[in-house]
């Protein structure tokens, strides 16, 4: 192998790894989320379950929502800002009764909730059913049309 080919080989390898990482990002995020959930102590799990049950179990608390859309975000996150019109569109969708809730990961009060759900990246969107059970999870940007399909598939 000549020294002239080494940069091309290294560049090809790097490009291949980047593409692999891009296509495997959801698997990686799910793996990290599971590890975060597994590391959560009993107190975090119980408080998370109580929090979800009290706020998002609409069969118990009588609220008139079919779903909850939780978005974990950060103040300086560009993609989180791009999600704002999407969330507004979901809130105003006439055929779906969705409670849209945004949680800032920089808020210390959100830390237990993040650990309970295993949030490892922002933005992360979770769709919960009317009993507070997670139905769908997305990392990054998602279009309103894709989100609406998730509500109609349930």
Domains, the chain, ordered by start = 6-153 (3.40.30.10)
Which one-letter DSSP state was computed for residue 78? H
Q: pLDDT tens digits for 78-134?
A: 999 999 999 999 999 888 899 999 999 999 988 889 999 999 889 999 999 999 999
Residue 3 has pLDDT above 60, yes or no: yes
Return the exposure string of 113-125: e unless at least 16 CB atoms fall within 10 Å of the residue's CB, then b.
bbbbbbbbbbbbb
Alpha carbon distance 95, 3 (integer Å): 63
Residue 23 has pLDDT above 80, yes or no: no
Tell me what pLDDT residue 154 has.
62
* Half-sphere exposure at residue 138, Cβ-oriented, CA atoms within 13 angstroms: 17
């Amino acid at each position: 192998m000549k020294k002239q080919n080494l940069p091309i080989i290294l560049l090809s390898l790097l490009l291949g790894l980047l593409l692999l990482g891009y296509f495997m990002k959801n698997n990686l995020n799910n793996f990290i989320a599971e590890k975060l959930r597994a590391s959560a102590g009993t107190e975090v799990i119980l408080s998370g379950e109580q929090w979800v049950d009290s706020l998002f179990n609409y069969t118990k608390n009588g609220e008139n929502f079919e779903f909850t859309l939780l978005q974990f975000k950060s103040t300086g996150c560009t993609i989180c800002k791009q999600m704002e019109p999407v969330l507004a569109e979901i809130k105003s969708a006439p055929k779906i009764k969705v409670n849209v809730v945004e949680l800032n990961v920089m808020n210390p009060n959100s830390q237990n909730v993040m650990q309970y759900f295993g949030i490892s990246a922002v933005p992360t969107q979770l769709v919960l059913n009317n009993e507070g059970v997670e139905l769908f999870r997305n990392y990054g940007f998602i279009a309103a049309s894709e989100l609406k399909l998730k509500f109609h598939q349930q």
